[in-house]
Amino acid sequence: MSEKGPPPRPDTIMRHSTSLYSSIAFFVGTQLDVFTILDEGPMTAEEVAAALETKPHFAERLLNALVAAEVVEVDGSRFSNTPESSHYLVKGKPGYLGEHVTVNPYLKYWMFEAGIKTAETFRKGEAVDSFDYEGLPFDALLGTFRGTMPVAVKAGEELAKRFDFSRYATVADVGGASGGLIASLAKAYPDVRYTVTDLPSVTPVAEALLKEQGMTDVDVVEWNVLEGPCGHKFDAVILRALVQVFSPEHARKAVKNIGASVNTGGSILVLGHVMDDSRTSPVEEVGWYLINLNWEDKAGYYAEEDYREMLEEAGFKDITRETLPNGDGLIHAVKA
Protein backbone atom coordinates (compact mmCIF):
# COMPACT_ATOMS: atom_id res chain seq x y z
CA MET A 1 0.00 0.00 0.00
CA SER A 2 1.52 3.31 -1.04
CA GLU A 3 1.79 6.15 1.48
CA LYS A 4 0.46 9.60 0.74
CA GLY A 5 2.28 12.55 2.26
CA PRO A 6 5.22 12.38 4.67
CA PRO A 7 5.73 9.22 6.74
CA PRO A 8 4.57 9.26 10.37
CA ARG A 9 7.14 10.17 12.99
CA PRO A 10 8.34 7.25 15.16
CA ASP A 11 7.34 9.13 18.32
CA THR A 12 5.51 6.26 20.03
CA ILE A 13 8.26 3.79 19.17
CA MET A 14 10.99 6.05 20.53
CA ARG A 15 8.97 6.93 23.63
CA HIS A 16 8.71 3.28 24.59
CA SER A 17 12.32 2.57 23.68
CA THR A 18 13.82 5.44 25.68
CA SER A 19 11.48 5.08 28.67
CA LEU A 20 13.52 2.03 29.68
CA TYR A 21 16.35 4.24 30.90
CA SER A 22 14.17 6.37 33.14
CA SER A 23 12.40 3.27 34.44
CA ILE A 24 15.70 1.67 35.42
CA ALA A 25 16.98 4.85 37.07
CA PHE A 26 13.74 5.19 39.02
CA PHE A 27 13.85 1.52 40.02
CA VAL A 28 17.42 1.84 41.32
CA GLY A 29 16.50 5.03 43.14
CA THR A 30 13.71 3.23 45.00
CA GLN A 31 15.89 0.19 45.66
CA LEU A 32 18.55 2.37 47.31
CA ASP A 33 16.00 4.67 48.95
CA VAL A 34 17.67 7.72 47.42
CA PHE A 35 14.55 9.83 47.80
CA THR A 36 14.49 9.42 51.58
CA ILE A 37 18.17 10.39 51.71
CA LEU A 38 17.57 13.50 49.61
CA ASP A 39 14.68 14.63 51.79
CA GLU A 40 17.21 15.81 54.38
CA GLY A 41 17.94 18.72 52.02
CA PRO A 42 19.91 19.52 48.86
CA MET A 43 22.99 17.27 48.71
CA THR A 44 26.04 16.85 46.52
CA ALA A 45 26.80 13.59 44.76
CA GLU A 46 29.62 13.06 47.27
CA GLU A 47 27.20 13.41 50.20
CA VAL A 48 24.71 11.01 48.64
CA ALA A 49 27.54 8.56 47.91
CA ALA A 50 28.59 8.69 51.56
CA ALA A 51 25.01 7.95 52.67
CA LEU A 52 24.84 5.03 50.22
CA GLU A 53 28.36 3.86 51.11
CA THR A 54 29.32 3.84 47.44
CA LYS A 55 31.61 5.73 45.07
CA PRO A 56 30.85 9.40 44.25
CA HIS A 57 30.90 8.87 40.50
CA PHE A 58 28.36 6.05 40.89
CA ALA A 59 26.03 8.38 42.79
CA GLU A 60 26.56 11.19 40.28
CA ARG A 61 25.43 9.02 37.38
CA LEU A 62 22.33 7.84 39.22
CA LEU A 63 21.39 11.33 40.36
CA ASN A 64 21.77 12.77 36.87
CA ALA A 65 19.64 9.92 35.48
CA LEU A 66 16.98 10.74 38.08
CA VAL A 67 17.12 14.38 37.01
CA ALA A 68 16.58 13.25 33.41
CA ALA A 69 13.65 11.15 34.65
CA GLU A 70 12.17 14.28 36.27
CA VAL A 71 12.01 12.87 39.80
CA VAL A 72 15.08 14.76 41.13
CA GLU A 73 16.12 18.40 40.66
CA VAL A 74 19.65 19.84 40.46
CA ASP A 75 20.88 23.33 41.27
CA GLY A 76 24.56 23.68 40.54
CA SER A 77 26.15 20.67 42.22
CA ARG A 78 23.35 20.00 44.71
CA PHE A 79 20.50 17.56 44.16
CA SER A 80 17.07 17.52 45.79
CA ASN A 81 13.71 15.79 45.44
CA THR A 82 11.02 17.27 43.25
CA PRO A 83 7.89 18.22 45.23
CA GLU A 84 6.19 15.08 43.88
CA SER A 85 9.05 12.80 44.93
CA SER A 86 9.23 14.43 48.35
CA HIS A 87 5.53 13.76 48.91
CA TYR A 88 5.30 10.20 47.58
CA LEU A 89 8.75 8.56 47.70
CA VAL A 90 10.06 9.36 51.17
CA LYS A 91 9.68 6.58 53.73
CA GLY A 92 7.68 7.56 56.77
CA LYS A 93 5.59 10.22 55.07
CA PRO A 94 1.80 9.72 54.91
CA GLY A 95 1.75 9.78 51.11
CA TYR A 96 4.55 7.22 50.68
CA LEU A 97 3.92 5.04 47.61
CA GLY A 98 6.79 2.60 48.10
CA GLU A 99 4.43 -0.29 48.79
CA HIS A 100 2.21 0.47 45.77
CA VAL A 101 2.09 -2.63 43.59
CA THR A 102 3.60 -0.80 40.59
CA VAL A 103 6.24 1.10 42.60
CA ASN A 104 7.53 -1.39 45.18
CA PRO A 105 11.15 -2.23 44.27
CA TYR A 106 10.89 -5.88 45.34
CA LEU A 107 7.99 -6.50 42.97
CA LYS A 108 9.62 -4.32 40.30
CA TYR A 109 12.73 -6.50 40.44
CA TRP A 110 10.57 -9.52 39.68
CA MET A 111 8.99 -7.70 36.76
CA PHE A 112 12.31 -6.71 35.20
CA GLU A 113 13.85 -10.13 35.80
CA ALA A 114 10.91 -12.02 34.31
CA GLY A 115 10.09 -9.48 31.63
CA ILE A 116 13.38 -9.88 29.79
CA LYS A 117 12.67 -13.62 29.48
CA THR A 118 9.24 -13.28 27.88
CA ALA A 119 10.43 -14.01 24.34
CA GLU A 120 12.20 -17.12 25.67
CA THR A 121 8.92 -18.26 27.24
CA PHE A 122 7.20 -17.77 23.88
CA ARG A 123 9.86 -19.81 22.08
CA LYS A 124 9.79 -22.64 24.62
CA GLY A 125 6.01 -22.60 24.90
CA GLU A 126 6.17 -22.78 28.69
CA ALA A 127 7.07 -20.60 31.67
CA VAL A 128 10.83 -20.24 32.08
CA ASP A 129 10.57 -18.90 35.66
CA SER A 130 7.71 -20.98 37.05
CA PHE A 131 7.08 -20.62 40.78
CA ASP A 132 6.48 -23.87 42.65
CA TYR A 133 4.57 -23.12 45.85
CA GLU A 134 4.57 -26.77 46.87
CA GLY A 135 8.09 -27.74 45.83
CA LEU A 136 10.24 -24.87 47.11
CA PRO A 137 12.07 -25.32 50.44
CA PHE A 138 11.05 -23.39 53.53
CA ASP A 139 13.89 -20.85 53.35
CA ALA A 140 13.11 -19.95 49.73
CA LEU A 141 9.42 -19.47 50.48
CA LEU A 142 10.24 -17.50 53.63
CA GLY A 143 12.49 -15.13 51.69
CA THR A 144 9.91 -14.64 48.96
CA PHE A 145 6.97 -13.90 51.23
CA ARG A 146 9.02 -11.77 53.61
CA GLY A 147 9.88 -9.67 50.56
CA THR A 148 6.24 -9.28 49.53
CA MET A 149 4.98 -8.75 53.09
CA PRO A 150 5.16 -4.90 53.06
CA VAL A 151 2.89 -4.85 50.00
CA ALA A 152 0.43 -7.19 51.73
CA VAL A 153 0.54 -5.02 54.85
CA LYS A 154 -0.33 -1.97 52.75
CA ALA A 155 -3.20 -3.83 51.08
CA GLY A 156 -4.58 -4.67 54.51
CA GLU A 157 -4.31 -1.05 55.61
CA GLU A 158 -6.28 0.07 52.57
CA LEU A 159 -8.97 -2.56 53.15
CA ALA A 160 -9.25 -1.49 56.78
CA LYS A 161 -9.95 2.08 55.64
CA ARG A 162 -12.37 1.06 52.91
CA PHE A 163 -14.54 -1.47 54.79
CA ASP A 164 -15.91 -1.77 58.32
CA PHE A 165 -14.59 -5.17 59.39
CA SER A 166 -16.11 -4.82 62.86
CA ARG A 167 -19.36 -6.18 61.38
CA TYR A 168 -17.67 -9.56 60.86
CA ALA A 169 -16.96 -12.11 63.58
CA THR A 170 -14.57 -14.19 61.49
CA VAL A 171 -12.30 -13.19 58.59
CA ALA A 172 -9.93 -15.40 56.59
CA ASP A 173 -7.11 -14.49 54.23
CA VAL A 174 -7.11 -17.41 51.81
CA GLY A 175 -3.61 -18.02 50.46
CA GLY A 176 -2.42 -15.45 52.99
CA ALA A 177 1.25 -16.55 52.99
CA SER A 178 3.01 -13.67 54.77
CA GLY A 179 0.08 -12.80 57.01
CA GLY A 180 0.81 -9.14 56.37
CA LEU A 181 -2.70 -8.33 55.19
CA ILE A 182 -4.35 -9.95 58.20
CA ALA A 183 -1.86 -8.26 60.53
CA SER A 184 -3.03 -4.86 59.30
CA LEU A 185 -6.70 -5.76 59.73
CA ALA A 186 -6.05 -7.13 63.22
CA LYS A 187 -4.45 -3.87 64.29
CA ALA A 188 -7.42 -1.88 63.00
CA TYR A 189 -10.14 -4.31 64.17
CA PRO A 190 -8.70 -6.34 67.08
CA ASP A 191 -12.00 -7.92 68.17
CA VAL A 192 -12.41 -10.00 64.99
CA ARG A 193 -11.23 -13.62 64.85
CA TYR A 194 -8.69 -13.94 62.02
CA THR A 195 -7.43 -16.94 60.07
CA VAL A 196 -4.73 -17.34 57.45
CA THR A 197 -5.09 -20.38 55.20
CA ASP A 198 -2.58 -21.74 52.71
CA LEU A 199 -1.03 -24.88 51.30
CA PRO A 200 0.70 -27.23 53.76
CA SER A 201 4.05 -26.19 52.27
CA VAL A 202 3.33 -22.51 52.99
CA THR A 203 1.62 -22.55 56.40
CA PRO A 204 4.94 -22.89 58.31
CA VAL A 205 6.05 -19.70 56.56
CA ALA A 206 2.79 -17.98 57.53
CA GLU A 207 3.28 -19.02 61.15
CA ALA A 208 6.85 -17.70 61.19
CA LEU A 209 6.00 -14.37 59.59
CA LEU A 210 2.91 -13.83 61.75
CA LYS A 211 5.09 -14.40 64.80
CA GLU A 212 7.56 -11.81 63.51
CA GLN A 213 4.66 -9.35 63.29
CA GLY A 214 3.46 -10.13 66.81
CA MET A 215 0.26 -11.77 65.56
CA THR A 216 0.12 -14.76 67.92
CA ASP A 217 -3.70 -14.89 68.06
CA VAL A 218 -4.20 -15.50 64.32
CA ASP A 219 -5.19 -19.04 63.40
CA VAL A 220 -3.20 -20.73 60.63
CA VAL A 221 -5.04 -23.47 58.74
CA GLU A 222 -3.85 -25.80 55.98
CA TRP A 223 -6.24 -25.66 53.03
CA ASN A 224 -5.83 -26.63 49.41
CA VAL A 225 -8.74 -24.73 47.87
CA LEU A 226 -8.80 -27.03 44.84
CA GLU A 227 -9.65 -30.07 46.96
CA GLY A 228 -12.86 -28.85 48.59
CA PRO A 229 -14.38 -26.36 51.04
CA CYS A 230 -12.57 -25.44 54.24
CA GLY A 231 -13.45 -27.18 57.49
CA HIS A 232 -14.48 -23.78 58.85
CA LYS A 233 -16.91 -21.10 57.69
CA PHE A 234 -16.19 -17.38 57.72
CA ASP A 235 -18.10 -14.11 57.57
CA ALA A 236 -15.58 -12.66 55.12
CA VAL A 237 -12.81 -14.12 52.99
CA ILE A 238 -10.02 -12.28 51.22
CA LEU A 239 -8.26 -13.66 48.14
CA ARG A 240 -5.23 -11.55 47.27
CA ALA A 241 -3.04 -12.66 44.35
CA LEU A 242 -4.68 -16.09 44.47
CA VAL A 243 -7.18 -16.40 41.62
CA GLN A 244 -4.61 -14.93 39.22
CA VAL A 245 -2.22 -17.89 39.57
CA PHE A 246 -4.86 -20.48 38.62
CA SER A 247 -5.97 -21.77 35.25
CA PRO A 248 -9.59 -20.84 34.40
CA GLU A 249 -10.78 -24.32 35.35
CA HIS A 250 -8.93 -24.28 38.67
CA ALA A 251 -9.98 -20.70 39.39
CA ARG A 252 -13.67 -21.60 39.05
CA LYS A 253 -13.19 -24.64 41.27
CA ALA A 254 -11.29 -22.63 43.88
CA VAL A 255 -13.86 -19.82 43.99
CA LYS A 256 -16.68 -22.38 44.27
CA ASN A 257 -14.96 -24.14 47.20
CA ILE A 258 -14.16 -20.85 48.87
CA GLY A 259 -17.73 -19.66 48.34
CA ALA A 260 -18.99 -22.76 50.13
CA SER A 261 -16.87 -21.67 53.10
CA VAL A 262 -18.56 -18.25 53.43
CA ASN A 263 -21.61 -17.71 55.61
CA THR A 264 -24.81 -16.44 53.97
CA GLY A 265 -24.66 -12.66 53.79
CA GLY A 266 -20.89 -12.75 54.15
CA SER A 267 -18.38 -11.09 51.87
CA ILE A 268 -15.69 -12.14 49.45
CA LEU A 269 -12.97 -9.67 48.50
CA VAL A 270 -10.82 -10.62 45.52
CA LEU A 271 -7.69 -8.50 45.25
CA GLY A 272 -5.08 -8.42 42.52
CA HIS A 273 -4.87 -7.83 38.81
CA VAL A 274 -8.16 -7.01 37.07
CA MET A 275 -8.33 -5.94 33.43
CA ASP A 276 -11.16 -4.08 31.78
CA ASP A 277 -13.30 -6.32 29.58
CA SER A 278 -11.49 -5.00 26.49
CA ARG A 279 -8.30 -6.63 27.83
CA THR A 280 -6.33 -3.62 26.59
CA SER A 281 -6.50 -1.51 29.75
CA PRO A 282 -5.36 -0.52 32.32
CA VAL A 283 -1.88 -0.74 30.82
CA GLU A 284 -0.26 -1.97 34.04
CA GLU A 285 -2.71 -4.87 34.34
CA VAL A 286 -2.43 -5.87 30.69
CA GLY A 287 1.35 -5.76 30.99
CA TRP A 288 1.32 -7.83 34.16
CA TYR A 289 -0.68 -10.60 32.52
CA LEU A 290 1.87 -10.72 29.70
CA ILE A 291 4.80 -11.01 32.11
CA ASN A 292 2.91 -13.53 34.24
CA LEU A 293 3.34 -16.05 31.41
CA ASN A 294 6.94 -16.40 32.64
CA TRP A 295 5.74 -17.56 36.07
CA GLU A 296 2.34 -19.19 35.48
CA ASP A 297 1.90 -20.11 31.81
CA LYS A 298 -1.33 -22.01 32.49
CA ALA A 299 -2.86 -19.22 34.60
CA GLY A 300 -5.91 -17.39 33.31
CA TYR A 301 -6.23 -13.99 31.67
CA TYR A 302 -8.80 -12.36 33.91
CA ALA A 303 -10.94 -9.32 33.13
CA GLU A 304 -13.79 -8.00 35.24
CA GLU A 305 -16.35 -10.13 33.39
CA ASP A 306 -14.43 -13.31 34.28
CA TYR A 307 -14.46 -12.55 38.00
CA ARG A 308 -18.17 -11.74 37.83
CA GLU A 309 -18.93 -15.03 36.11
CA MET A 310 -16.92 -17.07 38.63
CA LEU A 311 -18.50 -15.34 41.61
CA GLU A 312 -22.04 -15.69 40.30
CA GLU A 313 -21.46 -19.41 39.68
CA ALA A 314 -20.25 -19.70 43.29
CA GLY A 315 -23.43 -18.11 44.66
CA PHE A 316 -22.41 -14.48 45.12
CA LYS A 317 -24.36 -11.33 44.28
CA ASP A 318 -23.98 -7.53 44.44
CA ILE A 319 -20.63 -7.69 42.65
CA THR A 320 -18.66 -4.44 42.44
CA ARG A 321 -15.22 -3.47 41.18
CA GLU A 322 -12.82 -0.72 42.21
CA THR A 323 -9.11 -0.01 42.55
CA LEU A 324 -7.55 0.51 45.98
CA PRO A 325 -5.05 3.35 46.54
CA ASN A 326 -2.20 0.80 46.72
CA GLY A 327 -2.93 -0.26 43.13
CA ASP A 328 -4.72 -3.52 43.87
CA GLY A 329 -7.81 -4.23 41.83
CA LEU A 330 -10.71 -5.21 44.09
CA ILE A 331 -13.82 -7.25 43.37
CA HIS A 332 -16.31 -7.34 46.26
CA ALA A 333 -19.38 -9.56 46.43
CA VAL A 334 -21.93 -10.85 48.94
CA LYS A 335 -22.89 -14.49 49.52
CA ALA A 336 -26.51 -14.95 48.52
pLDDT tens per residue, range 92-147: 999 999 999 999 999 999 999 999 999 999 999 999 999 888 889 999 999 999 99
Distance CA 271, CA 181 (A): 11
Distance CA 134, CA 139 (A): 13
Strands 329-335 and 262-272: antiparallel
| Burial zone of 212 (CB within 10 Å; 0-12 exposed, 13-18 middle, 19+ buried) | middle
Distance CA 31, CA 98 (A): 10
Domains and CATH numbers, the chain: 11-88 (1.10.10.10), 105-335 (3.40.50.150)
Total-model pTM = 0.94
**Arithmetic mean of pLDDT, 305-324:** 99
pLDDT tens per residue, range 19-65: 999 999 999 999 999 999 999 999 999 999 999 999 999 999 999 99
**Based on C-alpha coordinates, what's the Rg of the chain?**
22
Residue 209 pLDDT > 60, yes or no?
A: yes
Arithmetic mean of pLDDT over the chain: 97
**Which amino acid makes up residue 79?**
F
Phi, psi of 97, deg, nearest 5? -105, 10
* pLDDT for res 183: 98
CA distances 220 to 210, 253, 306, Å, are 9, 22, 30
pLDDT tens per residue, range 185-198: 999 999 999 999 99
Residue 145 sits at the vertex; the CA angle it makes with 288 and 310, to the nearest 5 degrees, is: 50
pLDDT tens per residue, range 242-286: 999 999 999 999 999 999 999 999 999 999 999 999 999 999 999
Residue 322 pLDDT > 70, yes or no?
A: yes
Distance CA 243, CA 251 (A): 6
pLDDT tens per residue, range 136-159: 999 999 999 999 999 999 999 999
